Amino acid sequence: MGLILVGCGKMGGAMLEGWLDQGVPKDSIRIIERSGEHAQALRDTHDIIVADSLDDIEDGFPADVILLAVKPQMMDDAITKAVRFKDRATFVSVAAGKTISYYEQAIGTDARIIRVMPNTPAAVRRGISVACANDQVTDGMKDHCTKLLEAIGEVAWIDDEALMDPVTAVSGSGPAYVFYMTECLTQAGIKAGLPEKLATQLARATVAGAGELMRQSGTDADQLRINVTSPGGTTQAALEVLMAENGFAPMMDQAIYAAVQRSKELAG
């Protein structure tokens, strides 16, 4: 299938690297990248065709999938130029806040639209992407889209687009919460007397290691917590603070609620 990637920034670039590693033929891909310097770097690195605009895609190119990875404020222009491929293409968007109805209004209600919320661990193939399709998308194209997204991590599908707001709050924004927790753990270690370099090393390795243990073991997070908590020990003493009535859980509830509300506002 022919694939057009519109926008090759951090997320688009991670996807491109993943596709090429999967063995997607270079001649089946076209990239749209406005930055001349970045476009040339892509050509030099991957020996791949990069154009400045969708208008420059040659007639006859099989545009089966157009993946839109531009910033939301640039989407109006990208969609206007993408309409010429409507009869053949399935449009896949990773732009935050842009709903399926937005694309249907711009392209037509008969257009095939898939909305995706990935997250930044895609850069190291440890992301998770949640996708939602309109009724025009076939099961076969959903399967094809799943394979494309698996190049950057796990994939989940939802039928109710309204769930994209909490998805955004949990997985889309979630890496930032983990990074901030790592910052806090580092600073707490420093306040407890650790040298800054050692506190940083301990916090980063602990968070990364715990995440990898959870991923590889498949064990529920609550059981992993229980496994490391000895009765009357140091971990229990710390968890009594974190799990108090005004501790970590209610703060996380508030944070997720705030992110959900903002996601709804951005989607209009």
Domains delineated in the chain: 3-165 (3.40.50.720), 172-267 (1.10.3730.10)
Q: Do residues 24 and 49 lie in contact, with contact meaning Cβ atoms separated by under 8 Å?
A: no
**What is the pLDDT, as a whole number, of residue 15?**
96
Q: Do residues 97 and 75 lie in contact, with contact meaning Cβ atoms separated by under 8 Å?
A: no
Give the count of beta carbons closer than 10 Å to the beta carbon of residue 156: 14
pLDDT tens digits, residue range 177-188?
Answer: 999 999 999 999
C-alpha 81: how far from its chain's center?
24
pLDDT tens digits, residue range 138-177?
Answer: 999 999 999 999 999 999 999 999 999 999 999 999 999 9
Where do the H-state alpha helices sit in the chain?
A: 10-22, 36-46, 75-82, 100-107, 139-149, 164-167, 174-191, 196-217, 221-228, 234-242, 248-267
Q: How many helices (H) and strands (E) does the chain have?
A: 11, 8
Give the count of beta carbons closer than 10 Å to the beta carbon of residue 173: 21
